[in-house]
Amino acid sequence: MRNPFIAGSWVRAENFFGRTAILRDVLEGERDSLWVVGARRLGKTSLLKELEHRALQNPQTPFVPLYWDLQGSADARGLADGLLGSVEDSEAFRRATDIAVEDLEGHSVADMLTTLVRRTVRSGWRLLLLIDEAEEFLTVARTDAAVLPRLRRVFQKGNEVRTVLTATRRLAQIDDLPDVATSPFLQGFIPALYLTPLQPEEARALLARGKFSEEEQARIQERTANHPFLLQLIASRLFESRDLAATLDQVAADEMVSNFFSVDFQTLDARERALLEPVARSGEQSLDELARAAAVSKETAETLLFGLRMMGYLSLENGRFRIGNWFFERWLRRVAAAEPRPA
Ligand SMILES: Nc1ncnc2c1ncn2[C@@H]1O[C@H](COP(=O)(O)OP(=O)(O)O)[C@@H](O)[C@H]1O
Ligand SMILES: [Mg+2]
């Protein structure tokens, strides 16, 4: 039997598990501007690819999807090139809307989008615009701030477009930039939807593909707290090695995994990191203890801790916060131990 697990690249269709509520909100809900916030490797790209797939498969949907990855775009020109590339890559979109790449070439990104919307509507569809790596807007804002309000106007063209942004929490900084503050970019996209770890039964369905024993399955879920990437990584290695203890040790010591945690940790803001470190040091903490340790008000701590829980960085039981999963806890302990304690 072939290894059924995929750890690294995005997944969709029969390889995609869970996320029922968000899929429903996007494909059948009322909101036309959605920001899905999630940590790295929690499944943002997979979610957008699954949305694209479902919209293309479903003959009843009013939407024609377009997936647009902003990574590396850097400025308005880069956004335009990327958007053109997306249209080029999606034959289904070009066919449904009767658009050719030549119709768009040479235009600014905002004009291009306006044309895309107009042609989509004229063909009897609504545009489902699926924007990945939306943090890139932070970089664009530094070089071409004026393009953002223009884009936002197209993103929020009421009934004609439904826009889904995915990004880590960093995107929230965009409305603090001096050039953007006058017309808040994320207005309408807030409150964000959180991409959480998988539900226990969704994780079980995923692991069932490996035909592992009950005990192995339970232990993987306990160690990963159903983080989709960690689940897939461990399951994939266990599928080859058939030795769970060795696999868990290996993953805990893996350079690639600690690098992943370290880059992910940097997407959090300083106050969020200041809340996580005392939890890692002492194993568990209450809200009051954490507000004191991070030197923030209880209210601020509560808001930040809610987001950290939703994204799987923390869990809460009986009023005590703990680090979300064993691997992240081990990594964070090592990092926290290497730093001087705050006075
Ligand atoms: N819905 C899902 N079902 C199963 N595995 C998933 C799912 N979402 C993410 N994964 C796992 O996480 C990995 C990273 O997913 P990806 O969509 O690339 O995350 P992101 O874009 O947030 O970095 C995938 O390779 C896969 O192992
Ligand atoms: Mg991604």
Mutation pick for ligand 1 pocket among 135, 229, 256 (CB with most ligand atoms within 8 Å): 229
- What pLDDT shows up at residue 1? 83
Encode pLDDT of 14-72 as tens digits.
999 999 999 999 999 999 999 999 999 999 999 999 999 999 999 999 999 999 999 99
Q: Write down the mean pLDDT value for the chain.
A: 95
Distance 230 CA to ligand 1 centre (A): 9
Distance 215 CA to ligand 2 centre (A): 32
**Residue 195 CA: which ligand 1 atom is closest?**
22
Categorize the per-residue pLDDT at 342 as very low, low, confident or very high, splitting at 50, 70 and 90.
Answer: low
Both tokens of 153, joined, read: 């106007």
Helices of type H across the chain: 20-28, 44-57, 76-89, 91-97, 109-122, 136-144, 147-155, 200-207, 214-224, 228-241, 244-253, 255-266, 270-282, 287-294, 298-310, 326-338
Span 268-338: which CATH code? 1.10.10.10
Query: Can you tell me the distance from the alpha carbon of 41 to that of 1, in angstroms, rounded to the nearest whole number?
Result: 26
Q: Within 6 Å (CB) of ligand 1, which residues are found?
A: 6-11, 16-19, 38, 40-46, 206, 228-229, 232
**Residue 17 CA: which ligand 1 atom is closest?**
3
Query: Can you tell me the distance from the alpha carbon of 311 to that of 330, in angstroms, rounded to the nearest whole number?
Result: 18
User: Closest Cα to atom 13, ligand 1: which residue?
Assistant: 229
**Residue 9 CA: which ligand 1 atom is closest?**
25
User: Closest Cα to atom 7, ligand 1: which residue?
Assistant: 43
State which H helix or E strand residue 126 sits in.
strand 126-132
Cα torsion through 334, 340, 342, 343, rounded to 10: 140
* CATH class label, 19-194: alpha beta
pLDDT(343) > 60: no
User: Closest Cα to atom 9, ligand 1: which residue?
Assistant: 43
Query: Can you tell me the distance from the alpha carbon of 47 to that of 55, in angstroms, rounded to the nearest whole number?
Result: 12
Categorize the per-residue pLDDT at 304 as very low, low, confident or very high, splitting at 50, 70 and 90.
Answer: very high
Average pLDDT over residues 270-292: 96
Residue 95: CB atoms within 10 A of its CB come to 11
pLDDT(132) > 70: yes
User: Closest Cα to atom 23, ligand 1: which residue?
Assistant: 41
**Number of residues that this document lists for the chain:** 343
Q: At what angle do helices 20-28 and 44-57 cross, to 10 degrees?
A: 50
Distance 231 CA to ligand 1 centre (A): 10
Average pLDDT over residues 153-167: 94
pLDDT(136) > 80: yes
Distance 109 CA to ligand 1 centre (A): 29
The residues placing their C-beta within 5 Å of ligand 2, an ion, are 44-45
* Nearest ligand for residue 11 CA: 1
pTM of the model: 0.96
Distance 331 CA to ligand 2 centre (A): 22
Domain ranges of the chain: 19-194, 200-261, 268-338
User: Closest Cα to atom 8, ligand 1: which residue?
Assistant: 43
Query: Can you tell me the distance from the alpha carbon of 44 to that of 24, in angstroms, rounded to the nearest whole number?
Result: 16
Query: Can you tell me the distance from the alpha carbon of 227 to that of 310, in angstroms, rounded to the nearest whole number?
Result: 12
CA distances from 196 to 9, 39, 163, 167, 313 (A): 18, 9, 20, 13, 10
- Cα 72 from chain centroid? 17
Encode pLDDT of 70-120 as tens digits.
999 999 999 999 999 999 999 999 999 999 999 999 999 999 999 999 999
Query: Can you tell me the distance from the alpha carbon of 171 to that of 159, in angstroms, rounded to the nearest whole number?
Result: 25
Average pLDDT over residues 167-191: 89
**Residue 38 CA: which ligand 1 atom is closest?**
22
Query: Can you tell me the distance from the alpha carbon of 145 to that of 139, in angstroms, rounded to the nearest whole number?
Result: 9
